[in-house]
């Protein structure tokens, strides 16, 4: 299903969009040869020196364009990234007629001025390289953020960070909440939108008795995981609503999840009804988020143990939360804790 902006494109643009959406992978024939360059980039970022990061980033991008046989691109690594719509700007690709295209990347967060996490940085880098590849490798007339685009970005990421390529779940299943924070809002929303169907597919054909079985005394049964997703979604909705209704409200400590499971007696619930209610709550969350002007994503509230939480951060956390519990669900269905 295309993202919402598809409807606003012209027919010619829609054709480009569809073509972009169909291509889900960019294969690197010799990905292994690039791994030392990836490692070097990680080390450079850890050293927190801009000139070092600039050199390592240039080598990384040059290795990619050489490997794929496309024209090179200019690279500029900057210090603190500016605020922009969808939170903070992480990278930028600029192509003007008659000039070498440029990729700009920011190595520090705007607010905390911390060096960004390595995976976030690499993913941003691959995102911008993805735009370059759209024009030079795939010969698209425009470079849209389609689901195919994000899958191509993920396919590159997984080839360069092999431990990220573990099953199951989404192409981004190994991302931390911090890394999700560096992923575009569209991609995070697309991840949230997939979840109910992924859970439904996991439960498909299983008997209720099997779903109620805990893989270990302290590990949730599949039914309990689905109930947790449902109630976590309600909490997410309540937090977003509180943030939008108030000016920087206090966000109450909730749960904890283990206490909810016990008090609300998850083990007795019907997992399929729980899934339907999760789906309904998730649909409501997405409706709210999609309708929200980008600047509103920066509104937040104060959590007693987690500090300030913006809507932007809550969405990143929820994307990670989905990945995490989908993996847990898969394990639980196989009888593993």
Judged by the rule CB under 8 A, the positions of this chain that interact with another protein are 230-231, 234, 238, 241-242, 245-247, 249-254, 262-265, 268-270, 273-274, 277, 302, 304
- Residue 159 and residue 122 in contact, taking contact as beta carbons nearer than 8 Å: no
**Residue 216's beta-bridge partner residues?**
219
Handedness of CA 264, 265, 268, 271 (dihedral sign): positive
| Nearest CB to another protein, comparing residues 114 and 262 | 262
Q: Whole-number minimum distance, CB 272 to another protein, in Å?
A: 11
Provide the 8-state DSSP code for 269: S
Give the Cα separation of 197 and 275 in Å (integer): 9
Q: Whole-number minimum distance, CB 244 to another protein, in Å?
A: 10
Tokens read off for 307? 């500090």
Give the Cα separation of 221 and 261 in Å (integer): 10
Q: Whole-number minimum distance, CB 253 to another protein, in Å?
A: 7
| Nearest CB to another protein, comparing residues 95 and 242 | 242
| Nearest CB to another protein, comparing residues 69 and 256 | 256
Sheet with 102-108, edge to edge strand ranges:
74-80, 102-108, 91-94
Which SS3 state, helix, strand or coil, does residue 294 take? helix
- Residue 316 and residue 180 in contact, taking contact as beta carbons nearer than 8 Å: yes
Give the Cα separation of 178 and 136 in Å (integer): 31
Q: Whole-number minimum distance, CB 37 to another protein, in Å?
A: 48
| Nearest CB to another protein, comparing residues 171 and 301 | 301
| Nearest CB to another protein, comparing residues 235 and 286 | 235
Handedness of CA 152, 157, 159, 163 (dihedral sign): negative
Q: Whole-number minimum distance, CB 145 to another protein, in Å?
A: 33
Q: Whole-number minimum distance, CB 1 to another protein, in Å?
A: 26
| Nearest CB to another protein, comparing residues 98 and 304 | 304
Give the Cα separation of 257 and 84 in Å (integer): 34
């Amino acid at each position: 299903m295309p993202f919402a902006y598809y409807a606003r494109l012209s027919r010619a643009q829609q054709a480009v969009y569809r073509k972009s959406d169909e291509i889900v992978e960019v294969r690197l024939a010799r990905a292994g040869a690039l791994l030392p360059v990836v490692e070097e980039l990680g080390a450079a970022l850890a050293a927190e020196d801009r000139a070092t990061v600039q050199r390592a980033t240039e080598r990384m991008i040059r290795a990619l364009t050489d490997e794929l046989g496309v024209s090179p691109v200019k690279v500029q690594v900057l210090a603190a990234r500016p605020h922009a719509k969808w939170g903070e700007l992480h990278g930028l690709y600029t192509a003007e007629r008659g000039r070498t295209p440029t990729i700009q990347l920011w190595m520090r967060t705007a607010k905390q001025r911390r060096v960004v996490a390595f995976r976030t940085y690499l993913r941003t880098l691959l995102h911008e390289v993805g735009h370059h590849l759209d024009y030079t490798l795939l010969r698209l007339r425009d470079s849209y953020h389609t689901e195919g685009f994000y899958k191509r970005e993920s396919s590159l990421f997984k080839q360069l960070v092999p431990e990220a390529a573990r099953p199951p779940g989404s192409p981004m299943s190994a991302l931390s909440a911090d890394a999700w924070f560096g992923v575009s809002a569209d991609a995070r929303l697309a991840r949230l939108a997939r979840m109910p169907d992924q859970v439904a597919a996991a439960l498909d054909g299983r008997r209720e008795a099997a779903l109620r079985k805990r893989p270990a005394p302290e590990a949730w049964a599949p039914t309990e995981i689905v109930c947790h997703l449902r109630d976590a979604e309600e909490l997410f909705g309540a937090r977003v609503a509180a943030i939008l209704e108030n000016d920087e409200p206090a966000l109450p400590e909730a749960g904890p999840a283990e206490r909810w499971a016990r008090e609300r007696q998850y083990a007795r619930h019907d997992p399929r009804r729980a899934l339907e209610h999760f789906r309904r709550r998730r649909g409501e969350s997405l409706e709210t988020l999609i309708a929200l002007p980008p600047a509103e994503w920066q509104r937040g509230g104060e959590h007693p143990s987690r500090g300030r939480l913006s809507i932007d951060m809550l969405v990143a956390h929820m994307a990670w939360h989905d990945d995490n519990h989908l993996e847990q669900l898969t394990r639980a269905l196989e009888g593993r804790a």
